[in-house]
Structure 1
Amino acid sequence: MVVGPIDSPETFKDKAYTALRNVIVSSDVYRSRTDIRLDERQLAQDFGISRTPVREAMAQLEREGFVRSVPRRGIYVVRKTKEEVIQMITAWAALESMAARLITERASDADIAGLRRMFATFEGDRLHAKLDEYSEVNINFHQTIIELSGNHVLIRLAENLFTHMRMIRRQTIGEEDRADRSIRDHMNIIQALEARDTERAEDLVRQPAPRTTRRT
C-alpha cells in the first residue's frame, strides 16, 4: 500500500477522500485473510496533512460503505458478504446494460472506436504477459461504457458502485482463463455497439454477471 503527500490547494478533505478511496481499492481486501485496518494517524502523516480532514474523509467513506469503525479497535476496510457482492454485480449489470443501449443510440463512431483501441496492446499472446495492465484496462472499459451513455443520473448512480466493483474485479481477473474469456466478451460487446445492435449489446453486457456471481 503506497501513499504520498497531498499538496493540492483543493480542500484537504476532498483530496484525503480521493487518496483514501484509492488506498482502499488497492488493498485487495477480498484476497486478504485478515481484516485490513486503516491507521488514521499514519495516513495523515503519509499525506502530509492534519488528522481532521482524514477523519472527515473516513466518515464519508463509512457512510458510503467502504470502511467500518469498530469502537476501541479502529477503522477497517469493509469486506462485503457474498450476498452483498452478488447484489452489487446484479445492479451493475443492469446499469451497464442500460448504458449499452444508450451508446447504440447516442454515441459517435469515434467514441465506440476508442473502446476497441483499449485492447490493441493485448492481441495474440501478449495478454498473459500483461495481466496487471489488462486488469486496469478491463476496469476502465466498464467505466467508459457507463460514461459513454451520456446519462448523468446513470453515471452518478454507478459511481459509488463502481468503486466496489473495482475491488471485486481485482480478485477475479487473474483466475484461470478469466482474462481470455473477458477479452472475447469485450470484443463481442464492441462489435454489437459498432453495429448499433441494441438488443445484442444489452444482452452481451449482462451475460458475464451470472458467471461472476458463481465465482464469488
Structure 2
Amino acid sequence: MTVLEQEGFVRSVPRRGIFVVRKTKREILEMITVWAALEGMAAHLAATRASAADLKSLRRLFNDFEQEPPHAHTNEYSQANIAFHQAIIRMGGCNLIVDMTQNLLLHMRAIRAVSIRQENRLETSIREHTGIIDALESRDPERAERLVREHTLGLAAHVEKHGVFPA
C-alpha cells in the first residue's frame, strides 16, 4: 500500500480509510510531457548504444501486427507498445533515466492502454513506431529523439483533444 501511495495511486486519510486518487487531465499531460523528454533522450542515446540484437528484437515486437488488422489484437498490441517504450529507455543505457521513468511507468501504461483503443491511435502508433525503429537502425540520434518526442507528445495532444480522463 505504501508503494501505491508513493506512486500517487492512493491516498490514506487517518481514521477514514484509503482512497483511489484520480489524476486530473493537467497532471496526466504533465506526466506525458516529462516522459517525452526522458524517452526522447533515451532514444538519442540508444541510437548509438543499442546493439544490433536489441534493435532486431525491437522490430520483432511489431512483426505480427503487420500481417493482420491491428484491431484484432488490441490487447497484445497494447502490451507490445509498453514493451517498446521500456526497451528504448533500457537501450539508452542511462540508469538515471531508467530510474526516473519507473515512477511514471504505471501511469503511462494506463494512459496508453486507454488511448490505444480510441480513434486511430493504434494505426498511428504502429506507423510512428516503425519510423522510430528506422531512425535507431540508421544510428541517427537526432531523428530518433525527435520522433520519440513527437510520438509521445502526440499522445498528449490526443488526451488534450479527447478529454478521455478526468478534467
Residues 47-98 of structure 1 show CA distances to partners (whole Å, capped at 9, x for unaligned) of xxxxxxxxxxx12321231211244543233221111111100100001011
1:109 corresponds to which residue?
52
Describe the SS at the equivalent of 1:196: coil
1:193 corresponds to which residue?
136
Select 2:21's aligned residue among 78, 100, 110. Answer: 78
Residue 161 of structure 1 aligns to which amino acid in structure 2? Answer: L
Select 2:103's aligned residue among 136, 142, 160. Answer: 160
2:120 corresponds to which residue?
177
Matched-pair contact (CA < 8 Å) for 2:36–2:152: yes
Select 1:142's aligned residue among 85, 89, 106. Answer: 85
Q: Using the alignment, how far apart are the partners of 2:157 and 2:14 within structure 1?
A: 35
Q: Using the alignment, how far apart are the partners of 2:60 and 2:140 within structure 1?
A: 20
Are 1:151 and 2:94 matched, yes or no? yes
Describe the SS at the equivalent of 1:103: helix
* Percent of paired sites with the same residue: 54
Map 1:58-137 → 2, pairs under 5 A? 58-137=1-80
**1:208 CA displacement:** 2.2
**1:164 CA displacement:** 1.1
Alignment TM-score, normalising by the size of structure 2: 0.89
Describe the SS at the equivalent of 1:175: coil
Which runs of 5 or more structure 2 residues have no equivalent in the other structure? 160-167
Describe the SS at the equivalent of 2:68: helix
Q: How many residues align?
A: 159
Residues 171-203 of structure 1 show CA distances to partners (whole Å, capped at 9, x for unaligned) of 100012110000000000000000001111011
Bigger Rg, structure 1 or 2: 1
**1:167 CA displacement:** 1.2
Describe the SS at the equivalent of 2:12: strand
Alignment TM-score, normalising by the size of structure 1: 0.70
Residues 32-57 of structure 1 show CA distances to partners (whole Å, capped at 9, x for unaligned) of xxxxxxxxxxxxxxxxxxxxxxxxxx
